[in-house]
Chains A and B, each alone.
Chain A
Amino acid sequence: MIITRQKDLQEILEKIGSGPVFLVGCNECATLCGTGGKDEITALSTLFASKKIPVSGSIVLDPACHLLNSKQLLKPCAAQVDSAQIILVMACGNGVQTVAELYPEKQVVGGTDALFIGEVIRAGVFEKRCSLCGDCLIDKYGGLCPVARCPKSMLNGPCGGAANGKCEINAEMPCVWDQIYTHLKKRNQLYLLKAVQPPKDWSKSREVKVSRDHQ
């Protein structure tokens, strides 16, 4: 899913000023990340109220990134939205833009930073798995993606900097090449790594529109 992190509270407060503010959350990724679910929207509403910032209302969309669905869900909130100066969206960058598209006359601000497509390792801990590069190569690496998980996106083997299976830029982070090696060795498939992987086709990462009948 899309992993988000809440922006610093101070930054959020600066964005919303003296309000009134209408809050939007998302029932999907932002809920699982604990950044924009029902609980976080309630907590923020309480916090703003304690700071004497009027909250005109709130909603948790399901999901925020579905334009037509969001439009329907927001219909009953028309008056609340109308009386707000600022709409604060606690969802990924897509969710913020959905709301902005629905209310072009309003000031819509985002309260999270979208980080990556990632795995829920355990409650509250997420790890990057995919960077949406448009040209998936994971089959060549035993199902582990070096494009997303190696800081240098190395496609032809590891750099020389990893130590004890950890990445040279962060001793907390496993070296994905070490993981690829261990995994493929276990499966007797190290031969997969012998082929030289040519420069990647990044043109596919520039797709901006796709339809279901695309193929």
Chain B
Amino acid sequence: MTISNLAEALESGRFVVTTEIGPPKDCNPGKIREKAELLRGSGVAFNITDNQTAVTRMSSLAGSILLLQMGMEPIMQMTCRDRNRIGLQSDVLGAAALGVRNILCLTGDAPSFGNHPQAKGVFDVDAVQLLHIISDMTGKGVFQSGDRLSGPCPQLCLGAAANPFAEPLELQLMRLEKKVDAGAVFVQTQSIYNLERFTRWLDSVREAGLDRRVRILAGVTPLKSVKMAQRMKFHVPGTDVPDAVYERIVHAADPAEEGYRLAVETIEALREVRGIHGIHITALFWESIIPQLVRETGLVP
């Protein structure tokens, strides 16, 4: 029996779709349920973000449980920004006990980006180390300290993030390889607007043989507005919005429609790229567009 629907889908070689839900800045479970209901059927599993961009929100663990209660499969995101190795391992056990089967390991954005810039960033470990720690918990039944788990080991499908647009490429590939060695079964990439540069990155990934060792889910984020295009182009670290793409949104009569068209074209182009195993769609605050997007592109029947 496979660990999760996501693990099963990744193993089968099918083209996989995952999407993402951002928990609210309050304790209303209805907001997660509403988004989840909207996305039901639009992907095999759903990322629940962990205080994304260092803004305090409902925890990814709680959000993941809410999804499980609806019979949907979460990918619990876990960053190293807010918890040390004790807290992280504790939450891995808790999440596994409650039925979480997929964890995406991230280092996390620095607190200076968020709504508590005065907070101390923990960063006791980084994403590579977190992957190793959880792999040891699941595979060897030991904590990071070497202390043994007292009972059953958690069964988890682990993922990581990769940014095809980050420099220096040689170092980024080295880091990706470390993540794969550490037990990442899948990687979700940064949102892609520069297809040419993404393809070059993927060539290097293939050259390193990494596409045969990890499932790569290409990131797509439809641009909803001129403001969002501006934010992605000028303010979000690590994204690459080429001028041509930016101009297309800025000069469009209907920027949202143009952003949607662009996402459709991107997905269609990505499906033709060798070495891609699926698509990860992030449309935070525009989740409602996802069902249409996955159907029009044939990602979901």
Is B126 in contact with A155, judged by CB distance below 8 angstroms? Answer: yes
Is A151 in contact with B172, judged by CB distance below 8 angstroms? Answer: no
Q: Is B124 an interface residue (CB 8 A)?
A: yes
> Which of A152, A197, A198, A199 is in CB contact (< 8 Å) with B110?
A152
Q: Is B211 an interface residue (CB 8 A)?
A: no
Q: Which residues of A contact B168 (CB under 8 A)?
A: 158, 178, 181
Q: With A157-B172, A161-B166, A169-B110 known to touch, is A196 a contact of B121 (CB < 8 Å)?
A: no
Chain A 147-182 interface mask (CB, 8 Å, partner B; 1/0): 000011111111111110100110000000110010
Q: Is B272 an interface residue (CB 8 A)?
A: no
Q: How far is the CA of A155 from the CA of B112 in the complex (A)?
A: 20
Is A168 in contact with B238, judged by CB distance below 8 angstroms? Answer: yes
Q: How far is the CA of A193 from the CA of B176 in the complex (A)?
A: 13
Say how far B99's CB is from chain A's closest CB, in angstroms. 27
> Which of A159, A177, A178, A200 is in CB contact (< 8 Å) with B107?
A159
Is B171 in contact with A156, judged by CB distance below 8 angstroms? Answer: no
Say how far A120's CB is from chain B's closest CB, in angstroms. 26
Q: Which residues of B contact A185 (CB under 8 A)?
A: 170
Q: Which residues of B contact A168 (CB under 8 A)?
A: 110, 237-238
Say how far A196's CB is from chain B's closest CB, in angstroms. 5
Q: With A193-B174, A196-B181, A196-B182 known to touch, is A160 a contact of B124 (CB < 8 Å)?
A: no
Q: Is B128 an interface residue (CB 8 A)?
A: yes
Is B129 in contact with A157, judged by CB distance below 8 angstroms? Answer: no
Q: How far is the CA of A2 from the CA of B175 in the complex (A)?
A: 33
Q: Is A117 an interface residue (CB 8 A)?
A: no
Residues of A at the B interface (CB closer than 8 Å) are: 151-163, 165, 168-169, 177-178, 181, 185, 190, 193-194, 196-200, 202
Q: Which residues of A contact B109 (CB under 8 A)?
A: 161
Is B124 in contact with A199, judged by CB distance below 8 angstroms? Answer: yes
Q: Which residues of A contact B128 (CB under 8 A)?
A: 156-157, 196
Q: Which residues of B contact A178 (CB under 8 A)?
A: 167-168
Q: How far is the CA of A159 from the CA of B81 in the complex (A)?
A: 13
Q: Is B163 an interface residue (CB 8 A)?
A: yes
Is A163 in contact with B237, judged by CB distance below 8 angstroms? Answer: yes
Q: How far is the CA of A193 from the CA of B237 in the complex (A)?
A: 24
Chain B 141-168 interface mask (CB, 8 Å, partner A; 1/0): 0001000000000000000011101111
Q: Is B280 an interface residue (CB 8 A)?
A: no
Is A199 in contact with B129, judged by CB distance below 8 angstroms? Answer: yes
Q: How far is the CA of A137 from the CA of B121 in the complex (A)?
A: 20
Q: Is B178 an interface residue (CB 8 A)?
A: yes
> Which of B124, B125, B172, B190 is in CB contact (< 8 Å) with A158?
B172
Q: How far is the CA of A157 from the CA of B175 in the complex (A)?
A: 6
Q: With A181-B168, A196-B178 known to touch, is A160 a contact of B161 (CB < 8 Å)?
A: yes
Q: With A162-B166, A181-B168, A199-B85 known to touch, is A169 a contact of B129 (CB < 8 Å)?
A: no
Chain B 121-139 interface mask (CB, 8 Å, partner A; 1/0): 1011111110011000000
Q: How far is the CA of A199 from the CA of B145 in the complex (A)?
A: 10
Is A158 in contact with B171, judged by CB distance below 8 angstroms? Answer: yes
Q: Which residues of B contact A190 (CB under 8 A)?
A: 170, 174
Is B132 in contact with A196, judged by CB distance below 8 angstroms? Answer: yes
Q: Which residues of B contact A165 (CB under 8 A)?
A: 167
Say how far A174's CB is from chain B's closest CB, in angstroms. 13
